[in-house]
Structure formats: structure tokens, C-alpha cells
Amino acid sequence: MHFLSTFGFALACLASAHASTPVIVKPADGTHISPGQAFDFSYQSIADYGVSSYNYSVYLFTTPPLAFMTSQNFGAGHYFGRFAQPNYPGNPNPSNTPPATFVMPDFSKPPGGFGAGASATNATFYLAVFEEYSNGEGVPGNRISFTANRVIYNATSH
């Protein structure tokens, strides 16, 4: 999504003409999700003819993921996991396909230990995907795409 220019995700940066556009289909941008609610997840991978996708990682940022700088307070959020979309020949038969739904944590519940938890009302969070892929043009390591949709946590209206 192009909702924040600071996200800097520009399709022009994708080096291959064949790449699909990585899109978080569900939850759509602006979806309301309650604490503890299961929500549909669907992701369109960048994999395409000429582009191999290996894995993608799904995060929920509860603060805007604006700048990747070394910091003890880089941000806040939750990691949903590392998944893959079958694509031939790069990763034809992955064992870690994503679930159809994730459950939004209730962040008001203390996570244990020294954790405190915090309530939030009508908060804008960012469901984000980093995808590891390659398009046949050599680079040390995999290329990594980034996309994010806003979700409204504990919305005041439905």
C-alpha cells in the first residue's frame, strides 16, 4: 500500500518485469480486528515466471515501521511466523504454508515475566510482510520485499 510515502515501497525498485506485485489481500487495508479475534490472511506472493520466492515473514507492528535503525526501541508488535507459497522451481513443495487465519493477540494481557501489556482503543496497527525472493539477477543474499496494510485494533465502530 502507498499509504505512507515514508514506507518507500516502490514497484520501480523491483528489478524484474515479470515479478508479481506482492499484496496482502487479507486483511484488506483498514480492516477492523478486535483483540483476540481470528482474521483471514491471504497474501499474493511476488513469485512469478522468472522470480522465485523462498519464504516470507509476517509481522504486526503496533507502531509505524518507519526507519530501520539500530535501536532498543525500534518498534513494538508481534511476529506471526515465517511461511512460504509453493512456486516452481524455487520452492515447489514447502511444508510451511500459512494458516488461513491468524488470531489477533489481546495486548492488554500481560505476556508474562516482566511484561506489562497495554490496552489500546481504535489503534492503527500495520500488518507487514517481508518476502525473500530472487529474480535471477545476482545479489548477495535474497532480495527482500516489504509491504504492509493498516488494520484498526479495537475499533470504536464496526
Ligand X SMILES: *[C@@H]1O[C@H](CO)[C@@H](O)[C@H](O)[C@H]1NC(C)=O
Enumerate binding residues for ligand X (CB under 6 A). Answer: 35, 54-55, 82, 84, 91, 96, 106, 108, 119-122, 124, 152, 154, 156
Considering only CA atoms, which of 79, 72, 97 is closest in space to residue 87?
Answer: 97
Residue 83 CB, nearest approach to ligand X (Å): 8
* Separation in Å, CA 7 to CA 11, 42, 126, 134: 12, 21, 11, 21
Looking at the DSSP bridge assignments, the partners of residue 117 are none
Residue 75 CB, nearest approach to ligand X (Å): 18
Residue facing ligand X at closest CB distance: 119
CA atoms of 20 and 23, how far apart (whole Å): 9
Q: Which is nearer to ligand X, 92 or 113 (CB)?
A: 92
Residue 24 CB, nearest approach to ligand X (Å): 18
Instruction: Identify whether the C-beta of residue 73 lies closer than 8 Å to the C-beta of residue 111.
Output: no
Q: Which is nearer to ligand X, 101 or 108 (CB)?
A: 108
Q: Which is nearer to ligand X, 19 or 98 (CB)?
A: 98
Q: Which three cell numbers stand for residue 95?
A: 511444508
